[in-house]
């Protein structure tokens, strides 16, 4: 544990993922209490230290405050951004080796000067098993704590504690805020990958789902209702999306120019798709995307009356035109922005270029500090679950 902790301290400092104790330049922070529990689909980590701390001056102090998920992941608190909502950095554990640290989609809040709470999806940190063991760990700078003869490492609990997870089933989301959306907050370094026109088989939709799961990236899929029975008869593909933390949205029943249709037909296109998604998964969507981006004020109002927000985009790599993998990557990364919604496709034609572009897109955006979120997370929507729990 001691050697591993020293490795983690060096990683945390290099990634900007440490925490400094106020008024104490030596040793590790003493831990007063720590807990890890499941709340709906998320894990909630809460830690309290014996004294106040701030997520600042981290590199100079070479300290860290982290959650260890045994044999799976290290999650360390970062110092960039708001001091009351610091980021959380994830490093994959492979044997005795720590992978590169990158920021994950997490809600981190300071509930007191000596307290911190972080919520995140298990899949975002590589947790796929039904149970896990964990410890909170505080690490001090080795050169300081050894010279001062104080503790370099504090862990709590003393032995890894067990958490058993139960898979909650998402049943819906609640529309709120503006009825027409082109992007998220320009002040948050978040970006949402979205995909239209599936489910599909060229390549199979599961190829997208598996790739995104390997990369720990949640996405949003806007589906054509009439294609669900053709390409996902049992609903297993869509349930895999939801199980991985992805979002499903309505992309109409037959992909028409909705603005050109009479109101009754518009309603039918939306309602039939909502029912098809609900029948396949038990999930009722609260998001829809108009084919071709064609909208009208009346259409937006109709969708909202059905509980659906109209979701547009502000990053368009035009992957539907098959411009080539490099062009798709360059377009997405060049136009990336805070609150970005990337519109790509997982159906409606051969989408191998889009699939092949994704790993490099993700790597480049992640290197620039972007946090990948679903559209629901981008808009801070409330999710509903079969357990009766809700997530804000």
Annotated catalytic sites, by residue? 196, 345
Instruction: Report the C-alpha gap between 122 and 101 in whole angstroms.
Output: 16
The rounded distance, in Å, linking the Cα atoms of 81 and 378 is 17
Q: For residue 202, what are its two tokens?
A: 């060229």
**310, burial (CB in 10 Å: exposed 0-12, middle 13-18, buried 19+):** buried
Going along 40-178, which residue ranges are E strands?
42-49, 53-54, 64-69, 73-77, 88-94, 97-98, 102-103, 106-112, 115-120, 131-139, 153-164, 170-174
The single-letter DSSP state of residue 108 is: E
Under DSSP, the state recorded for 240 is H
User: Can you read off the two tokens belonging to residue 253?
Assistant: 């029943």
The values of phi and psi at residue 4, to 5°, are -60, -35
């Amino acid at each position: 544990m001691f050697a591993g902790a020293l490795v983690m301290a060096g990683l945390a400092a290099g990634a900007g993922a440490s925490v400094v104790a106020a008024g104490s330049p030596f040793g590790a922070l003493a831990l007063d209490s720590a807990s890890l529990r499941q709340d709906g689909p998320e894990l909630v980590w809460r830690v309290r230290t014996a004294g106040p701390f701030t997520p600042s001056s981290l590199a100079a102090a070479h300290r860290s405050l982290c959650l260890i998920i045994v044999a799976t992941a290290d999650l360390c608190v970062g110092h960039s951004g708001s001091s009351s909502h610091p980021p959380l950095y994830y490093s994959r554990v492979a044997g005795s080796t720590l992978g590169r640290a990158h920021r994950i989609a997490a809600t981190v809040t300071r509930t007191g000067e000596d307290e911190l709470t972080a919520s995140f999806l298990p899949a975002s940190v590589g947790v796929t098993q039904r149970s896990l063991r964990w410890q909170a760990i505080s690490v001090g700078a080795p050169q300081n704590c050894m010279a001062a003869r104080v503790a370099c490492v504090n862990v709590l609990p003393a032995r890894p504690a067990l958490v058993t997870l139960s898979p909650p089933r998402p049943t819906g989301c609640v529309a709120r805020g503006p009825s027409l959306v082109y992007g998220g907050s320009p002040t948050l370094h978040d970006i949402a990958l979205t995909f239209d026109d599936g489910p599909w088989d060229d390549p199979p939709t599961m190829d997208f789902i598996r790739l995104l799961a390997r990369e720990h990236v949640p996405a949003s899929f806007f589906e054509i209702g009439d294609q669900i029975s053709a390409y996902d008869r049992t609903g297993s593909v869509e349930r895999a999306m939801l199980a991985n933390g992805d979002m499903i949205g309505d992309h109409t029943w037959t992909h028409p120019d909705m603005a050109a249709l009479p109101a009754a037909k518009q309603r039918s296109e939306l309602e039939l798709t909502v029912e098809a998604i609900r029948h396949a998964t038990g999930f009722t969507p609260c998001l829809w995307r108009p084919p071709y981006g064609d909208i009208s004020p009346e259409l937006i109002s109709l969708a909202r009356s059905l509980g659906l927000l109209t979701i547009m985009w502000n990053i368009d790599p035009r992957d539907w035109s098959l411009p080539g993998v490099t062009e798709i990557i360059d377009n997405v990364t060049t136009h990336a922005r805070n609150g970005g919604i990337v519109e790509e496709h997982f159906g409606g034609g051969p989408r191998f270029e889009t699939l092949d572009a994704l790993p490099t897109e993700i790597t480049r955006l992640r290197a620039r500090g972007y946090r990948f979120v679903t559209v629901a997370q981008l808009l801070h929507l409330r999710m509903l679950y079969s357990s009766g729990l809700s997530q804000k």
